[in-house]
Amino acid sequence: MPSRLARSACVALLLAAPALANSGRAPGSHDRPEHPSAPATAHAGSAPHWSYSGEGGPDSWGALADEFKTCKLGRMQSPIDLGGADIEGRISVRANYRPGQMSILNNGHTVQVNFPEGSILSSGISHYKLVQVHFHTPSEETVYGVPYPMVAHFVHTDHAGNLAVLGVLFEEGAHNPELDKIIKAAPRQQAAAHVVGGVTLDPARLLPASLAVWRYDGSLTTPPCSEGVRWHVAIQPVTASAAQIAVLHAIVGDNARPIQPRNGRLLVAGVN
Ligand SMILES: [Zn+2]
């Protein structure tokens, strides 16, 4: 394990899967997969602490550390506004997700659920393993400038360490029973991953009926802001009750990175 992986209290709970650690990308984002057995060791104070406001806020992420410089220099950063797609396209996205044991953590930036092996996202001819899901309030993605109250980012990786994210937007509406399992188990303070006994989570139940997606190439939305992430955001939102969204917001706070410039990137609006 590279020593830099263990340097930061801020990122110590977010260690990358071995395939990713070998891919040469900088470690540390909650938008990247986490190896469930990775040690949660930390040497507090020796690496930059980033946040969503104040001194360590998004405008200064790129200056906090060399390994974060893509946050400021990158040209394919996320999130982006999803209004005004360039083209419509038939994008074949299939989620073959399985119910399983839930391991949950609070990394100080978000609440994250780690999944056991067995759930697959197919995008075109590529297949990715579901690794984790985490939440942002409000949604990082906007549509014509308007955010949703919440988004879930399902993070996947393929055998070569490439990342694919599926974003699921939440609007205020009916109570969401599957989400409730996460809310009930979510650590209110920063806490390492622990398995939630007696609870089976079915990630498929957190998805909308249609997997028509917006599709573009972007980045992790947290430091180190690594690029090469294949982004999919479901056009159809799901619901959560106002109370559910309020509880998650109370835990994770305002944790949406501001919208990043598209810089000519192709944005496809899918018909599935
Ligand atoms: Zn995210």
Per-residue pLDDT reduced to its tens digit, 157-177: 999 999 999 999 999 999 999
* Residue 28: predicted pLDDT: 39
Distance 256 CA to ligand 1 centre (A): 8
DSSP bridge partners of 195: 103
Distance 79 CA to ligand 1 centre (A): 9
Distance 28 CA to ligand 1 centre (A): 13
Distance 111 CA to ligand 1 centre (A): 10
Distance CA 86, CA 90 (A): 13
Residue 93: name the closest of 270, 220, 237 by CA.
270
Which stretches of the chain score pLDDT less than 50? 1-30, 32, 34-45
Distance CA 102, CA 183 (A): 12
User: What residues make up the domain containing 80?
Assistant: 4-270
Q: Which amino acid is at 6?
A: A
- Residue 3 CB neighbour total at 10 angstroms: 7
Who's near 146: CB < 8 A, 6+ residues apart? none
Strand duo 268-270 + 87-89: pairing: parallel
* Residue 271: predicted pLDDT: 85
Who's near 205: CB < 8 A, 6+ residues apart? 177, 178
- CATH number, domain at 205? 3.10.200.10
Number of domains in the chain: 1
Distance 272 CA to ligand 1 centre (A): 23
* Residue 207: predicted pLDDT: 98
By the 8 A CB rule, do 105 and 35 touch?
no
* Residue 9: predicted pLDDT: 35
Distance CA 227, CA 131 (A): 18
* Residue 226: predicted pLDDT: 98
Residue 78: name the closest of 23, 169, 153 by CA.
153
Q: Do you know the residue count of the chain?
A: 272
Distance 264 CA to ligand 1 centre (A): 22
* Secondary structure class of 101 (helix, strand, coil): strand
* Secondary structure class of 197 (helix, strand, coil): strand
* Residue 48: predicted pLDDT: 84
HSE-up of 155 (CA within 13 Å, CB side)? 27
Distance 34 CA to ligand 1 centre (A): 13
